[in-house]
Structure formats: C-alpha cells, structure tokens
Amino acid sequence: MATSSLAKIKITLLFLISSFLLINSQLTYIHQECYDRFGKYNILSNFGNNIDNAITELASRASTTYFSNYTSGIGEDQVNAFYSCRYDVPLSVCQSCVASVANNVSSCFSSVESLIVYEECTFHYSNRSIFSVMEELPRLYHYSPYDTEQGQFSVAMEGLVTLLINNVTTEFLASSRYFAMTTARFSSRESIYALAQCNPDITSFDCRTCLQSGFYNFANNHTGALPVYGQIFLQSCRLSYILTSEVLSRPWRFARTFLQDTPTRFTPGFSFPSTGTRGSSTIGAMIASIFSVALSWKLLL
C-alpha cells in the first residue's frame, strides 16, 4: 500500500512538473496509440503503478542520456519501457518530453502496450519483451493531407533517403548514435530537410531495414507523388522530412513548420498500418486534428 501511494505521489509531481515544462519547451505532441491485441491489465493489479514507476525512473535518466530502457515489476505485472529522444534537441527538452508522457498514460487506460509519440521523443511500454528488437509494425505516419504535384519530388526523396540511411549507419561507427540530418535544394525557392534516427540497441542491419521499410511502405501509400511533409515512426526508428521555402534553424520542427507554411484549413493526417489496435485505422485514412502551441499539439478525434 505504501509503495502504491508513493508511486501516485511521484506521478502527480511528475505530471505537475511536466505540465510546466511542456508549456515552456512547446513540445510537439503527435499521437498516442493503444494496443489491445496483447490483452488488458486488471485495474486492481500493480501494472498501472509499474507504468508510473517506469515513467518516473526514465524521466530522471533523460536528463543525462537520449535513450534508456527500464523494467518495473515482475511476473504478469511486469512493465518493460524505453524512450528515445532526438539527438539534436537539448537534454532539457528530452527530459521534459519523457516527463510529459505522464500526461498521456490515462488515455490508454487498461492497455498493456502503448506507443506515445512527440516530435522530440517517443515512449513505448509493454508487458512483453521489446528491448533490442526491431519490429516493422506498428508504424505511425503523420503527413500533409495533399501530395506534391511534381513527380520529380518523389525521385528526389528516394535519392535523399538512400543517402540519409547510409549516413545514419556510418555515424554509428563514429559516435555510437544512429542519427543523421541532411538538406537538399529542390527548386530555386524550396529545400528538402530530412532527419533519420534509430535506437542504439539494434544492429546496423536492423536499423537500415527499419528505415527502408518505414519509408518505402509510406511511399507506396502515396503512389505518384509524396506529401510535402511526412514523419514516419516505428518502434526502433524514425524518419522526418519537409519541403519548404523557409530556412529552418536547429532543431528542425517539421510539424510546426508545415503548419506555419500552410493555410489553417489544412491539418496533418494519420495512418496506422497495423491491425487489432484501439484507435487504429486503415491505410490512408485521415483523422482531423488541431494543434495548440501554448500547451501541446493535441489530436482531436
């Protein structure tokens, strides 16, 4: 009972701190997906407390490292969790992003697995083994609801992504980080900004497979022309890009830049190429969303 009360106090404090940090760092909330295909947990069990404990522990680690995993509890109540922050954001932003996960957990009440996505970090917890594993599903796509009219953009992106993936795996040899950023001039007015990253606990081969699978499945869903803005999130990797006339300063804010470049009547779309999950949809389905810069960018269902 004492442990349960302590966990609730910790998570309440974490919620208050993260709410303050969220306002000041203006994190970009993308989406949270709840997965019921692995079952649900009993609300009278310790599973919920173990989620809270994992968030608290990992949020404390995020002040010093961009990636970490943690196991809380044993047996049926065991929670395996990890976070991954973008390597180009300050560690203070990484920590506030991981701490802000406390604001989202209640949305997946009773689900034993969830993927929480911000532009600055991702957080994944489950009752199954998820460490050092590359999985091609689930995938989350966040993209502009219209495609480019220029077919050459798709060709340019394919070449850029190939270069980017090579740079990601090469960088790991130098810094133990799967991370790369690149820009390319597309026209006299517009440039492509792109970023890719993998979790450091997978192999170089799996990193390459993860990024290639994510991008080419995304491209296949947009035959003919790619959207001008897209972000692809998998459990072990991510890839983000945007075509814009703006000169971006680092860290690049892909979703925010898209909304600044675009009339307010357009909002990004989501698709979830996975099945058996609460809140998932068929490929290409659009979910309307609105964003609030003051707090976080919330999904309006």
Domain ranges, residue 50: 2-126
End-to-end CA distance of the chain: 37
How far apart are the C-alpha atoms of 290 and 28, rounded to whole Å? 12
pLDDT (0 to 100) of residue 4: 52
How far apart are the C-alpha atoms of 288 and 25, rounded to whole Å? 25
Domain co-membership, 112 together with 34: yes
Residue 184 maps to which CATH number? 3.30.430
The 10s digit of each residue's pLDDT in 62-85 is: 999 999 999 999 999 999 999 999
Domain co-membership, 159 together with 260: yes
Domain co-membership, 86 together with 143: no
Domain co-membership, 145 together with 114: no
Tell me, yes or no, whether 115 lies in a domain. Answer: yes
Domain co-membership, 42 together with 108: yes
Residue 86 maps to which CATH number? 3.30.430.20
Domain co-membership, 117 together with 178: no
Q: Where are any strands of DSSP class E within the chain? A: 29-40, 67-72, 79-85, 111-118, 121-126, 139-143, 178-185, 191-198, 229-234, 237-244, 269-271
Domain co-membership, 111 together with 158: no
Tell me, yes or no, whether 285 lies in a domain. Answer: no
Burial 97-107 (b: 16+ CB within 10 A, else e): bbbbbbbbbee
Tell me, yes or no, whether 160 lies in a domain. Answer: yes
At 176, list the tokens.
């133990």
Q: How many CB atoms lie within 10 A of CB 149?
A: 9
Q: Give the count of domains, the chain.
A: 2
244 has which bridge partners?
A: 191
Residue 227 amino acid letter = P
Residue 176 amino acid letter = S
pLDDT (0 to 100) of residue 295: 22
Continuous segment of H or E residues that includes residue 245: none
pLDDT (0 to 100) of residue 171: 87
Domain co-membership, 143 together with 266: yes
Among the candidates 126, 155, 182, a domain finishes at 126
The 10s digit of each residue's pLDDT in 32-50 is: 988 888 788 888 889 999 9
Domain co-membership, 116 together with 148: no
pLDDT (0 to 100) of residue 222: 83
Tell me, yes or no, whether 80 lies in a domain. Answer: yes
Among the candidates 100, 126, 152, a domain finishes at 126
Tell me, yes or no, whether 163 lies in a domain. Answer: yes
Tell me, yes or no, whether 292 lies in a domain. Answer: no
Among the candidates 72, 99, 126, a domain finishes at 126
Domain co-membership, 162 together with 234: yes
Point out the residues of the chain with pLDDT beneath 50: 1, 19-24, 264-267, 274-301
Angle of helix 2-25 versus helix 91-100 axis, rounded to 10: 130
Domain co-membership, 184 together with 208: yes
